[in-house]
Amino acid sequence: MRLAIVMNSQAGSLLQREPSEVIDQVTTAFTAAGHQVDCVCVPGAAVGAAMEKAARLGADMLVVGGGDGTIKTGAEIALRHGIAFGLLPLGTMNLLARDLCIPLELEGALAALAQGVVRPIDVAYINDTPFLNNAVIGLYARMVHEREKLRQRRGWRKWPAMGWALVKTIASNPRLTVTLALADGTTRQVDTHMVAIANNAYEEGYGPVPHRERLDDGRLSLYIGKHRTRWGLVQLFLRALLSKWKNDPELEVHHVTAATVHSRHRHLRVAIDGELERRRTPLRFRIEPGQLRVWHPVGAETVREGAASQRAG
């Protein structure tokens, strides 16, 4: 295949490496597997323009290396140009890479993808903006907002800032009243601290990082937190860390093909694939089954099916 590869030199995994060294490593691995490669490694501010340029080169696939925010932008560009999409997990969470069973170390990811295959996965939308993992309003969006304030104003590192943002947000016990209109015609008002809309359902039992066994079920999953006390929020957080959250009586779950979130507020903060945005309401969510063709390791589907069977047993 002809691969147009763009990497973010400021991604966490590359901060201590020379861009030329990384380009050589990536190019060598994929060329040895018979692919034609055009590879660049640029600073974060230049990544968007570099991806747009790469997508116009006539390649079969746009491959993006970076964190979840960079991956989201790359997928949007690949969709717009009608080409396949690949990713190298160079960020902190690497949520989609985990769900695709891509090794999180660069060397392992290159080896696994060099002989990989392409398959379609679902794409979720908030209004007309695609996302691959989730969109969250309420508590988590507020945490991200507080985290970024600490990073920008005080120079805190990401994880200490997130820890303090978590404590501050739980202490304030924020509430939000919204009206949910689901695809089945159900409409209801909820008083909540969080509404999360996921592109396919999350499963428990995989540790503290959210995990999806399927990316092609064709449904959104809505998670509505109804905890009213700070202790309830702490319990939810602990259950999430232990990956034992499904039996939480205050967590309401719906699986739908579309949903609309109405609010008395003209705008709401939304964390979309981990990136904070201010969005005009109402927020309209939908899913497009199999819209994005994604590169993943051979056997990844078998691994997921085996995990699902073990859990069912």
Output b/e per residue, 76-98; b: 16+ Cβ within 10 A: bbbbebebbbbbbbbbebbbbbb
Rounded CA separation 94/142 (Å): 21
> Taking all residues of the chain, what is their mean pLDDT, rounded to a whole number?
90
pLDDT at 273 over 80: yes
Does residue 48 contact residue 62 with C-beta atoms inside 8 Å? no
Q: What is the pLDDT of residues 10-48, one digit of tens each?
A: 998 898 899 999 999 999 999 999 999 999 999 999 999
What average pLDDT does the segment 241-266 reach?
90
pLDDT score, position 57? 87
Q: What is the pLDDT of residues 91-118, one digit of tens each?
A: 988 999 999 999 999 999 999 999 999 9
Decide: residue 300, CB within 10 A, 0-12 exposed, 13-18 middle, 19+ buried.
middle
CA angle 94, 226, 282 (to 5 degrees): 70
DSSP 8-state secondary structure symbol assigned to residue 211:
B
Q: Which CATH number fits domain 130-289: 1.10.1740.110, 2.60.200.40, 3.40.50.300, 3.30.70.100?
A: 2.60.200.40
pLDDT score, position 266? 96
Q: Which residues contact 88 (CB under 8 A, 6 or more apart)?
A: 5, 7, 26, 63, 64, 65, 66, 106, 109, 110, 113
| Lowest-pLDDT choice from 205-214, 271-280, 283-292 | 205-214
Rounded CA separation 153/287 (Å): 37
pLDDT score, position 302? 45
Between 237 and 63, the higher pLDDT residue:
63
Domains of the chain, residue spans: 2-115, 130-289
Indicate yes or no: pTM above 0.85: yes
**Helix and strand numbers, DSSP H then E, in the chain:** 9, 16
Element (H, E) at 4: strand 2-8
Q: What is the pLDDT of residues 178-203, one digit of tens each?
A: 999 999 899 999 999 899 999 999 99
Tokens 């990082």 appear where? Answer: 209
The total number of residues shown for the chain amounts to: 313
How many percent of the chain have pLDDT more than 70? 94
pLDDT at 311 over 50: no
Distances in Å between the Cα of 65 and the Cα atoms of 56, 86, 121, 234, 239 are 18, 9, 19, 34, 31
pLDDT score, position 307? 44
Nearest to 114 by CA among 12, 27, 20, 22: 27
Strand order in the sheet with 267-272: 251-256, 220-225, 194-199, 134-138, 267-272, 275-280
pLDDT at 308 over 70: no
> For residue 225, what are its two tokens?
């937190």
Q: What is the pLDDT of residues 136-178, one digit of tens each?
A: 998 878 888 888 888 888 888 877 887 887 788 777 777 899 9
pLDDT at 310 over 60: no
CA angle 164, 8, 102 (to 5 degrees): 85
Q: Which residues contact 208 (CB under 8 A, 6 or more apart)?
A: 240, 241, 242, 243
Q: Is the peptide bond before 282 cis (omega within 30 degrees of 0)?
A: yes
* Confidence grade of residue 313 (pLDDT, cut at 50, 70, 90): very low
Q: What is the CA radius of gyration of the chain?
A: 20
Question: Span 2-115: which CATH code?
Answer: 3.40.50.10330
pLDDT score, position 301? 62
pLDDT score, position 231? 83
